[in-house]
Structure 1
Amino acid sequence: MTSKGERRRQAVLTAAVQVLLEQGPTALTHREVATRAGCSLSATTYYFASLSDLVTAAGTQIVARWAEQAERVADRLEAAAPQHTRISAAVEAVLPEPDQVRGHYEHLAGAGRSEAVAAAYAAGRARVDAAVERITGPIGLDAELVVAVIDGAAITALSEGQDPATLARDLLARTLVTVGG
């Protein structure tokens, strides 16, 4: 593929990611993506043979970004970091930027309606869990439990007008005490 072709393909994929994040999988159509990407409808089908291919690629890119964020946080954490630092790092690794938290969780709540998105997220989740395990494993917290606590805290905080990161840190600290860490 030429560099122009690769740029066009990336523009189509970027538009698909935006639609998926903003409106969910049911709103992702070749026509909507073409409009956002500023290209012809035929360009979207040239680079992605089916809508399922496009949705899968968009979902794969979203979960890759999430995993990269978690890995960056884990990479900069020192081996001897104290518990409170590890808890804060886990929250930073899992939650998006504060202005994106609501959209992130609204998107995740609907993502399972699309088999392609759900499969992409399930496949990429191992990277997120591995990074979170590097962060919280040394203090005795399982990565899947950590992500579940942070996700639950975010939903609770959003529904009650609280700060998701603060509530997630507080609940993780309580979880650590409960599991005997």
Structure 2
Amino acid sequence: MTTETADSIASTRRGEERRRQIVEAAAAIVSEEGPGAVTHRSVAARAGCSLSATTYYFSGLEDLLGRAGELNISRWASRAERVAETVETLSGPISTDAAIGHLLNATLPRDVSLSGHYAGLIHAGSSVPISRAYRTGRSRLNSAVGRVLAHLGIGVPPELVISIVDGAAVSALSEGRDVRETASALLHQLAEKLAGTRR
């Protein structure tokens, strides 16, 4: 390998790393403040890079927003897939409390501000590239939650569970209640209804 080739490879890797950092910064801003807070300047400040770098690697702000949306939904789906993998290793009866705990782990983010997460979701519709990314990636999230439900023997659509958790979260956040406890209570009610229909 020539020195020129090695320099070119190193430069490409640095460029890919810088691009990744910029997308991660934009994704974090979307999650915490919503798409309206994403500007080249805010992303550059968050990523610790020059303003010109945020325009060099992307065709425009919409391209960057789309990449940020793809990263966010991919992270949510990956979290749910990890829970599904854990649940699929379990054998024997699982208590209702344990089952609901797994569902909450699959649907509620744990490493970000919940108020920021849901504010970002609510405002996602104001950005075409982000709403498109979320809509496209939603099937992967639904599939992962569906795997959890199937292994737990809960015969409801994953979209229903996600909607219950999301609705509980928004309600709890607006009323100053604990999100996880509120969502857990509603899922317990759903479990009771399902148990009642089997009798």
TM-score, normalised by the number of residues in structure 1: 0.92
Q: Counterpart of 2:193?
A: 178
Maintained 8 Å contact 1:140/1:176: no
- CA radius of gyration, larger in: 2
Instruction: State yes or no: 1:25 paired with 2:35.
Output: yes
- 1:98 deviation in Å? 7.2
Instruction: State yes or no: 1:68 paired with 2:83.
Output: no
RMSD, matched Cα: 1.7
Tell me how far apart the structure 2 counterparts of residues 9 and 161 of structure 1 sit (CA, whole Å): 38
Q: 1:59 to 1:81 in 2, by over 3 A?
A: farther
Q: Counterpart of 1:88?
A: 101
Instruction: Provide the aligned length of Structure 1 versus Structure 2.
Output: 181
Q: 1:80 to 1:48 in 2, by over 3 A?
A: farther
Identity %: 44
Secondary structure in 1 matching 2:113 = helix
Tell me how far apart the structure 1 counterparts of residues 190 and 29 of structure 2 sit (CA, whole Å): 36
Q: Give, as a single letter, the amino acid of the residue that structure 1 aligns with 2:143.
A: A
- 1:160 deviation in Å? 2.1
C-alpha deviations, 1:122-175, integer Å up to 9, x for none?
111111111111112321121000000001111121122221111211111211
Q: Counterpart of 1:48?
A: 58
Q: 1:54 to 1:98 in 2, by over 3 A?
A: closer
Tell me how far apart the structure 2 counterparts of residues 149 and 80 of structure 1 sit (CA, whole Å): 27
Gapped regions of structure 1 (runs ≥ 5): none
Q: Counterpart of 2:162?
A: 147
Secondary structure in 2 matching 1:76 = helix
Q: Give, as a single letter, the amino acid of the residue that structure 2 aligns with 1:125.
A: R
Q: 1:101 to 1:81 in 2, by over 3 A?
A: farther
Tell me how far apart the structure 1 counterparts of residues 74 and 53 of structure 2 sit (CA, whole Å): 24
Tell me how far apart the structure 1 counterparts of residues 112 and 28 of structure 2 sit (CA, whole Å): 15
Q: Which moved more, 1:108-117 or 1:136-145?
A: 136-145
C-alpha deviations, 1:64-83, integer Å up to 9, x for none?
01001111111101254524
Q: Give, as a single letter, the amino acid of the residue that structure 1 aligns with 2:14.
A: K
Q: Counterpart of 1:127?
A: 140
Q: Counterpart of 2:149?
A: 136
Tell me how far apart the structure 2 counterparts of residues 17 and 79 of structure 1 sit (CA, whole Å): 37
Tell me how far apart the structure 1 counterparts of residues 182 and 29 of structure 2 sit (CA, whole Å): 29
Instruction: State yes or no: 1:106 paired with 2:116.
Output: no
TM-score, normalised by the number of residues in structure 2: 0.84
Tell me how far apart the structure 2 counterparts of residues 127 and 29 of structure 1 sit (CA, whole Å): 28
List structure 1 runs of 4+ shifted beyond 4 angstroms: none
